[in-house]
Amino acid sequence: MGTVVATLLNGVSYGMVLFLIASGLSLTLGLMGIVNLAHGVIFVLGGFVGLFVARATGSFLLAVLAGGIASGVAGLIIERGFLRFLYKQNLPQVLVTFGFIYILTNLMLWVCGPQPRSAFVPSYFAGSVVIAGVSFPFHRFAIMGIGIAIGAVLWWLQEKTKVGAIIRAGMDNAEMVGGLGINLTPINVGAFFFGSAIAGASCVIGVQLFGSVGFGDGMDMLLVAVAVIIVGGVGSVQGALVGALLIGIIDTFGRVYLPAISQYTMYLVLILVLVVRPSGLLGRRL
């Protein structure tokens, strides 16, 4: 019983980090039709910058902010510098972001060295909580809380504000929105910045759970995030949340109870969902 509860808690906290990563990816995919394959590397980049700031200042909040801004700027550079010139050509856009995986990973290795960076746990997240006879680090609960809070803000932004309404409309029919005299360009740019920034900030937050982040972790994180948005469905905050929790919990249970298939349980779930519902569990129609 203790193991089941512990595994469930681990799965949920892991899922929350996945949600934060995937929500940004889902936003750009839904709105612009671009899968930003460099999303995972941008996640790691934010973590490196954030952890550097955390060491220098000792402030967790500043670190999250710095990580978010660094990743956001990286995303902005990719969008403004490259993707913009490939307007409406989704495939080349995706391939450009694939190239950036190699570029950013190797640049990080070059500039920052091969050492993985270990997590920064602020004093107010230190300590532990005993549940079912197992002592859990408190920051796992903090991560769940932060995940829910950010999720709520994102949901509010997308469902209850005017910008959110434009974004949703843009996902359904970009031409119609343009025809209504709304300029989608700043919205797209903003979404790209914001999506990347969430990734960077979530690395600084989520690395407490993983313990450390290395320059080469981007690809793994990208693949999990892709699985999350396919399972949950593209373009909605709820979809990303459901997908992330599902993947997080199933992956964690798989690793404990079915280690023989644990390297691909995630993809099995994904294919199963696709066969039943090609648009994902809570996705907009394709």
Partner 1 sequence: MKRRVPCMFFVTVLAVIFFATGAQAAEKEIRIGFITDLTSMLSINGISMRQAAILAMEEVGYKVAGKPAKLLVEDEASDPAIAMDKARRLVETDKIALLLGPFHGGCSSAVAEYVNRTRTPNLSCSYSVPDEAQAKAHWTWAPFGTNNQIGYAGGVYAAEASGYRTATTMSIDFAAGRAFVEGFMAAFSERGGKAVQDQWIPMGTKDIAPYITGLKQADVLVPWFAGVTVTAGVRQIREFKVNMPIVFPQCQFPAFPKQLAEIGDAGVGMVSPEMYVWTIDTPKNKKFVEAYQKRWGELPTSNSGSTYMTMQLVFEAFKKTGGDTSPTALAKALDTANVEGFVGPIRFADGRVGIGNYVIHKVVKVGNDYRTEVLTKYTIKTTKVGNKLVHSVVKQ
Partner 2 sequence: MKMKVRKARLFQFGPAGVIALVLLTLPLYADLSIVSLFTKILIFGLLVMSLDLLVGYTGLSAFGHAAFFGIAAYTIAILIKHFGITSFWLAAPAGILMAVFAACIFGLVALRVSGIYFLLITLAMGQLVYGIVHTSVGPLGALTGGSDGLGGVSFPEIMGFSFEAETYYYFTFASFIVCALLLYWITRSPFGYGLQGIRENAIRARALGYNTWLYQYIAFIIGGLFAGIAGMLYVYYNGFISPEGVGIGASGLLWLMLIIGGTGTLWGSLLGSGVILTLQYFVSGFTPERWPLILGVCFVAVIMFYRGGLLPQLINLWNRLMER
Helix (H, G, I), strand (E, B) or coil at 130: strand
For residues 21 and 202, is the Cβ–Cβ distance under 8 A?
A: yes
- Which of partner 1, partner 2, none sits in contact with 185, Cβ below 5 to 8 A by type? none
Q: Give the H or E element holding residue 134.
A: strand 134-137
* Distance between CA atoms of residues 251 and 267, nearest Å: 10
The residue (of 29 and 70) whose beta carbon lies closer to partner 2 is 29
Q: How far is the CB of 115 from partner 1 (least distance, A)?
A: 5
Contact set with partner 2 (CB under 8 A): 29, 33-35, 82, 85-86, 90-92, 94-96, 98-107, 109-110, 219, 223, 226-227, 229-230, 234, 259-264, 266-268, 270-271, 274-275, 278, 286
Structure tokens at 23: 């929500």
Q: In the chain, which ranges are continuous DSSP H helix?
A: 2-32, 39-57, 60-81, 90-112, 138-160, 162-172, 174-179, 184-210, 218-232, 237-257, 265-276
- Which of partner 2, partner 1, none sits in contact with 90, Cβ below 5 to 8 A by type? partner 2
Q: How far is the CB of 183 from partner 1 (least distance, A)?
A: 32
The residue (of 59 and 279) whose beta carbon lies closer to partner 2 is 279
- Which of partner 2, partner 1, none sits in contact with 59, Cβ below 5 to 8 A by type? none
The residue (of 144 and 255) whose beta carbon lies closer to partner 2 is 255
Strand partners, 130: 135
The residue (of 59 and 262) whose beta carbon lies closer to partner 2 is 262
For residues 193 and 97, is the Cβ–Cβ distance under 8 A?
A: no
The residue (of 163 and 220) whose beta carbon lies closer to partner 2 is 220
- Which of partner 2, partner 1, none sits in contact with 119, Cβ below 5 to 8 A by type? partner 1
Q: How far is the CB of 257 from partner 1 (least distance, A)?
A: 9
The residue (of 127 and 278) whose beta carbon lies closer to partner 2 is 278
Residue 131 backbone dihedrals phi, psi, to 5 degrees: -130, 130
Q: How far is the CB of 42 from partner 2 (least distance, A)?
A: 14
What does each C-alpha distance from 267 to 234, 247, 274 come to in angstroms? 17, 9, 10
* Distance between CA atoms of residues 167 and 157, nearest Å: 10
